[in-house]
Amino acid sequence: MLYFCRISAKIELNMDDTGSTQSRDIDYVEKKFEKALDLHETGNFDEAASAYQNLLQTHPLNSLLLNSYGTLLYQQGNLLDGPYIIKKSIILNSNTSIFYNRLGVIKRTQGDLDGACKMFKRALFIEEQYEANLNLCETYLEQRHPEAALAPGRRALALAPNAFLPHLRLATALRLVGKFNEALAEVGEAKSLNPLSPDPYIELTMSNIGAEKGEAALNAVVRGLILAPDRLENYFNLLGSLNIWSEGEGKTSQLSAEPESLAIKRLDIPFWGRCAIVANRQNPLIWFWHGVNCGRSNLLAEGLSSLKRSILIDPAHGNSYQAISVMFQRSGALEKAYFFC
């Protein structure tokens, strides 16, 4: 996402790069520019573009006008002129933090993650800023450098303690470095700030899995499934949650254990297993856990078929043999159960 951060028109239009702007015209230009910003921020891109173009006819060297117009063009999908105009604005004014932040987002979108990090760091060298810190944190996470993501994530949170995203991103970084309790605290804050978003529940599930809290992970993944039934990672998380739960204290049989949560009991777990299989037919663990879950639901034929497929894909997975033996035993095929035992 290209974060569009508003900058005071009055500050920018009184800078040296404003060209021929006279003091008697400043109020008029400010009002026109504020209107263009309002149109831009509310998504009226065509009207905003026209307003920027009119202002640039009389102020062609104004860096903020150029940067805002370049940002708008990029948001409209003009991937050539947008970045070019943003770079031109930086040449005219190299001391504005948000210019580098916007260019960093473009580089990140284009896949140049190292270049994006350099731009965000340059932005932060000029001014400590929420957007640049958050973008740097997200880029480090995308590069799989969670340790590096912690510092900018914490700075973003300090600058915007009531914002949803810094809590969520910091929780992800903390989970990836193994600080599960801290991650749970941060994702709890994110959930309270945006309780209707599925993302906190997805992160809450993964953090609870990392902390080996199976029941809490199950409760979280159910809410994630309710809010976003099209998010496939919810089912993968469900598998992990059930795995952790089934291996918990007092759980001796993978096939006989049933979650105590009423919400879990109402969940059609085999359905989500089929969804996961459609998305990834080559993962033996998906077939294995779908087979186990079918066994829990007394779908013995489907469970046997899934466990057989798991063994075909990965013959070295010992748990599959144990599970299929139990499944044959429950089906009354004792000789086959003994063979796989």
- Total domains present in the chain: 1
Structure confidence at residue 232 (pLDDT): 74
Report whether 86 contacts 72 (CB < 8 A): no
Residue 282 lies inside a defined structural domain of this protein: yes
DSSP 176: H
Structure tokens that stand for 328 in this block: 């044959």
Residue 223 lies inside a defined structural domain of this protein: no
String of DSSP letters for 48-87 = HHHHHHHHHHH-TT-HHHHHHHHHHHHHTT-TTHHHHHHH
Structure confidence at residue 248 (pLDDT): 65
Q: Indicate which CATH number applies to the domain containing 315.
A: 1.25.40.10
Residue 242 lies inside a defined structural domain of this protein: no
**Identity (one letter) of the amino acid at 209?**
I
Residue 235 lies inside a defined structural domain of this protein: no
Q: What are phi and psi of 175, to 5 degrees?
A: -65, -40
pLDDT tens string for the chain (341 positions)?
455 555 544 434 544 444 444 555 677 888 899 999 999 999 999 999 999 999 999 999 999 999 999 999 999 999 999 999 999 999 999 999 999 999 999 999 999 999 999 999 999 999 999 999 999 999 999 999 999 999 999 999 999 999 999 999 999 999 999 999 999 999 999 999 999 999 999 999 999 999 999 889 989 998 998 898 778 788 778 877 877 876 664 454 444 555 555 455 556 778 877 877 877 788 888 888 888 888 888 888 998 899 889 888 988 877 888 888 888 888 888 888 778 77
Nearest CA to 284 out of 337, 336, 239, 248 is that of: 239
Nearest CA to 270 out of 251, 247, 252, 287 is that of: 287
Structure confidence at residue 250 (pLDDT): 46
Nearest CA to 237 out of 178, 310, 307, 289 is that of: 289
Measured at the CA of 153, the angle between CA 241 and CA 91, to 5 degrees, comes to 135
Helix, strand, or coil (residue 177): coil
Residue 219 lies inside a defined structural domain of this protein: no
Structure confidence at residue 23 (pLDDT): 57
CA 334 – CA 329 distance, rounded (Å): 5
Residue 321 lies inside a defined structural domain of this protein: yes
* Cα dihedral value 49, 53, 55, 57, nearest 10: 180
Residue 248 lies inside a defined structural domain of this protein: no
Q: How far lies 277's CA from each of 201, 237, 285, in Å? A: 22, 14, 10
Residue 293 lies inside a defined structural domain of this protein: yes
Q: What are phi and psi of 287, to 5 degrees?
A: -60, -40
Structure confidence at residue 5 (pLDDT): 56
CB atoms near residue 109 (< 10 Å): 14
Structure confidence at residue 216 (pLDDT): 93
**pTM for the predicted model, two decimal places:** 0.77
CA 292 – CA 172 distance, rounded (Å): 29
Structure confidence at residue 326 (pLDDT): 84
Q: Which domain holds residue 337?
A: 268-341
Structure confidence at residue 29 (pLDDT): 83
Nearest CA to 85 out of 44, 42, 126, 56 is that of: 56
